[in-house]
Amino acid sequence: MNPTLSEGSRQPPRKPWSLERLKFERSIAVGAAIDTSTHSSYTSALNSYVYFCDVHKFPYKPTPDIFSFYIVWLCNNDVHRVDPKSVEKYLSGICNQLEDFYDDVRAIRNHRLVRKTLRGCRRLYSKATKRKSPLSISDLALAVEHYRHRRNHDDLLFLALLLTGWFGLLRLAELCLPDVRKHQNLRKRTRRDSVKWYLQGYGFDLPQHKADPFFEGNKSIRSGGATGLAEIGVPLHLIRATGRWASETFHIYIRKNPTFLTALLLQ
């Protein structure tokens, strides 16, 4: 069966591309599939895996044995131990970098031997997570009192970022650019011409950002804003919508932030 254009179909007169042009444009699109900072982290993880294979004379092709050996080598290394939570991220980066060469790399990553090895290392070598306390409204009041009479631009800018991030439940990446220049993306920068002033406040358009799917970060501004809203009785679904959390992600966030959970229980 050969499909044909339906009667009355109006296709714009696009010119055909050469095969070289198609491959070139596809390579650009594939290269932009992940954020530049994420790509750097994934490349670092791949370098670690390649080094491990080289020093142990293992082939680069992943197997459940090689992945499980790699996990214990990182988690219990005599020179430098890597936290099992970070090793899990290493494996994600390795899979991302190798899946174009080995189609079954993600299936190998999810093999029961690999999962059990990682779970065992978590029990043996995991460290307690240290989280900053969420900023409270009294902390903001102290900051305002300290900076309100300053005339230095950087001081006033810091205060504006602090208050905007707290009340807007913003991520740090939505407030500032990374220090590493190659990771700076102008498409993520909030434009000043998008700011709108209202009678009782202001607003602006957030550009695209790299999602933080499991909120493993340690952001006292964002968590403090969510806690503050919960303490004054703002409904849970409105807090989630304001912070732009997915449903599952928000439940994980609540579970991992006891201060926020306490505020919800005391509503």
Length of the chain as a residue count:
267
Average pLDDT over residues 204-218: 52
Residues 5-20: tens digit of each pLDDT: 666 667 777 888 999 9
Residues 220-260: tens digit of each pLDDT: 555 566 666 666 677 777 777 767 666 666 655 555 555 55
pLDDT for 213 beyond 50: no
Burial of 143 (0-12, 13-18, 19+ CB in 10 A): middle
* Tokens coding 84: 């099992």
CATH assignment, 35-125: 1.10.150
Domain boundaries, the chain: 35-125, 137-206+213-265
Q: What is the percent of the chain with per-residue pLDDT over 70, rounded to a whole number? A: 77
- How many beta carbons lie within 10 A of that of residue 182, not counting itself? 9
Paired with 198 in beta bridges are 201
* Tokens coding 213: 């799917």
Tell me what pLDDT residue 220 has.
54
> Hunting for tokens 């969420």 — which residue is that?
134
pLDDT for 105 beyond 60: yes
Between CA 109 and CA 99 the distance in angstroms is 11
Tell me what pLDDT residue 44 has.
92
Paired with 202 in beta bridges are 197
Between CA 239 and CA 233 the distance in angstroms is 10
Most confident by average pLDDT, 23-37, 138-152, 178-192? 138-152
* Of residues 45 and 198, more confidently modeled: 45
Tell me what pLDDT residue 183 has.
76
Question: Identity (one letter) of the amino acid at 61?
Answer: K
Containing 69, the helix (H) or strand (E) segment is helix 64-75
pLDDT for 27 beyond 50: yes
pLDDT for 174 beyond 80: no
Residues 115-152: tens digit of each pLDDT: 999 999 999 998 877 777 778 888 889 999 999 888 89
